[in-house]
Amino acid sequence: MRSIWRTLDAVLLRDVAAVALGAAVTGASFGAISVGSGLPWWMPVLMSLVIFAGGSQFMAVGIVAAGGSPAAAVVAGLVLNARHLPFGLAIGDVLGRSPLARIVGSHLLIDESTAFAMSQKDPARARAAYWACGVSLFFCWNIGVLVGALAGQAIGDPATFGLDAAFPAAMLALTLPALKDAATRNAALTGAAIALATTPFLPAGVPVLLALAGLLVFKKKEAPCPSPQS
């Protein structure tokens, strides 16, 4: 394990620290929103320790707070986290070979740690980036959630300080670069239209699941293979 940390350099540590700081702020938003939605302070803290998936946690709390069933929240979270399956196939070698390393490494498998690992060409550097990012975000996220949950009890309504808008704003910033692609943009707009159209008529959480139909409408067409020249 020492060899992993020796592989890190100042640039990589700086990038990881910046992402971890953002995770702490977003975690505080989640903690405050959860308490503001009526949950006891310990519940978002426990969710963050056990689940450690910010998008799914926000979605679950939002669905339940809007009156949706826990079943809808669970299904929505599972669908959202289904992207972790190809993540694991892509960076499985980064986690390590021992059972303990694979169990702990799988718990740290999130968008950011995967992105840091896949951006490295050297296997040793990819492993170091993955673990540095995963461990840093785990601690910063959970500390942020705890602080936000305790603060949420004091401020009451998280909208007072705009904490309710922190996570949507962060998600929008992350998705903007992908929207430059026409197929991705059309799929996202179609999904948003479906969700908005069905929200007044369906239970909370179901419109989010139906929005996935946008992926089926606008599939990226593969470029045709050039015909062999005679």
Task: Print the SS3 string covering the chain.
Answer: CHHHHHCCCHHHHHHHHHHHHHHHHHHHHHHHHHHHCCCCCHHHHHHHHHCCCHHHHHHHHHHHHCCCCHHHHHHHHHHHHHHHHHHHHHHHHHCCCCHHHHHHHHHCCCHHHHHHHHCCCCHHHHHHHHHHHHHHHHHHHHHHHHHHHHHHHHHCCHHHHCHHHHHHHHHHHHHCHHHHCHHHHHHHHHHHHHHHHHCCCCCCCHHHHHCCHHHHHCCCCCCCCCCCCC
Apex CA 184: angle with CA 180 and CA 188, to 5°?
Answer: 110
In a domain, 193, yes or no: yes
In a domain, 224, yes or no: no
| Mean pLDDT across 25-30 | 87
Quick: pLDDT tens for 88-137: 888 888 888 888 988 998 999 988 888 888 888 888 888 989 999 999 99
In a domain, 107, yes or no: yes
In a domain, 226, yes or no: no
Angle at which helices 123-155 and 111-118 pack, to 10 degrees? 160
Distance CA 43, CA 218 (A): 38
Distance CA 106, CA 87 (A): 10
The total domain count for the chain is: 2
In a domain, 225, yes or no: no
Residues 63 and 140 in one domain: yes
| Mean pLDDT across 174-194 | 80
Tell me which of 209 and 117 has the higher pLDDT. Answer: 117
pLDDT at 200: 85
Neighbouring CB atoms inside 10 A of 116's CB total 25
pLDDT at 229: 46
Write the CB contacts of 149 (distance below 8 Å, at least 6 apart in sequence): 31, 32, 34, 35, 41, 42, 44, 45
- Name the pTM for this structure: 0.70
In a domain, 228, yes or no: no
| Residue that is written with structure tokens 């670069």 in the block | 177
Mean pLDDT (the chain) is 80
Residues 16 and 97 in one domain: yes
| pLDDT at residue 222 is higher than 50 | no
pLDDT at 147: 93
Task: Print the domain residue range for 202.
Answer: 176-218
Residues 114 and 206 in one domain: no
